Every structure is written in C-alpha cells, then in structure tokens.
Amino acid sequence: MNKKLLMGATAFCVMGLSGGAWAADAATADEVVAKVKEAAADVKAHADVALTEFDKKDGKWAWKDTYVFVLDCSNGTMKAHPSEKVKGMKLADLKDKESGKEFGSALCDAAKETNGGWVEYMWTKPGAEGHHRKVAYVLTAGNYQVAAGVYDDKLTAKELEAKAK
C-alpha cells in the first residue's frame, strides 16, 4: 500500500515538473518585442538578403513556441515565414482560425504605429492541437513589416502596449 502511495506521489511530482518545463517553453511578450526589434534592425540593414533566415523552422528567428515573420504590406503578401503554406500568401487571405475574420490588414495598420502595435487573432500553435489566442507585435522595418506573436489568453491590451514602448 505504501509503495502505491509513494509511486503515485512520485508520478504527481514528475507531472508537475513537466508542466513547469512546458510553461518555460512558451515565449513571452517581452521576448517577442525584443526579437521583433532585433529582426527589424537586421531587415533594415540587410534588406532582402536577411529574409531567407526567417523561412527556417529551426533558425535564429524561431524559438520556443513562436517565430518571427515578415510581411510586405505594399504588395499585400507574406514575404518570409517558416511555414511554406503561409510564405507568399496574400495578406487578405490571413484569417482568424475561429471567426474567419481577415487580419492581414490589421497587422499592416499596427505596423504604422510609432512603437509598432499588437494584433490579436486565433491561430495554430506549433506543437499543439487546435487554435490558440495569438497576439502578434508588428513593427515597420524599411520596406517591410516584421512581426512575431505570443500565445497567451490572459495578456490585456494595456499590458501589451506598455511592453512595446
């Protein structure tokens, strides 16, 4: 009997530690802002040469459960993205996975803000089933717009705006 109790307690502790490890693998809004600003500087400095790096699923611009992507709002296309399905897509075809509402133009509008901006939508999360709330930070970088998102259903608009400054 004590052996079963000990094994149950051990399993519970292991699952608890595993849950903590999973949470640690989630990108934060602060990381997203820092990566987008770094990526925007790279795009400004190296223009089209830098774009191929954003297409790599395990490259510098993909980390934890998210990635940086590049839009070309002038031409209305996704310029660089680690998913072949999304790269080259028309921004008008970017749709919230639950409501079906287009959000490509919202990303372009948010990029025009002085410190960049945030756009919320439901999207697929790498390594997870279903659709998840994603809040993307987007910033203009020369002729392009650079963005990355955090999967978080608790962050408020006010909290996000404070992080972008």
Q: Between these two residues, 78 and 3, which has the higher pLDDT value? A: 78
- The enclosing domain of 82 has a CATH number of 3.30.450.20
Across 23-27, average pLDDT? 76
Return d(Cα 122, Cα 130) in angstroms, integer. 10
Complete DSSP assignment for 10-77: HHHHHHHHHHHHHHHTS--HHHHHHHHHHHHHHHHHHHHHHHGGGG-TTSTTEETTEEEEEEETTTTE
**Is 18 within the bounds of a domain?**
no
Residues of the domain holding 43: 27-164
**Is 7 within the bounds of a domain?**
no
The single residue listed with the structure tokens 């999360």 is 125
Task: Supply 114's token pair.
Answer: 């002085």
| Run of H or E residues at 4 | helix 2-24
- Torsion sign (Cα): 94, 106, 64, 97: negative
Return d(Cα 61, Cα 53) in angstroms, integer. 7
* Total number of domains in the chain: 1
Task: Supply 71's token pair.
Answer: 């839009």
**Is 70 within the bounds of a domain?**
yes
Average model confidence (pLDDT) across the chain: 86
Q: How many CB atoms lie within 10 A of CB 111?
A: 22
**Is 3 within the bounds of a domain?**
no
Tens of pLDDT, residue by residue over 88-142, are 999 999 999 999 999 999 999 999 999 999 999 999 988 889 999 999 999 999 9
Non-local CB neighbours of 154 within 8 Å, separated by 6+ positions: none
Predicted TM-score of the model (pTM): 0.83
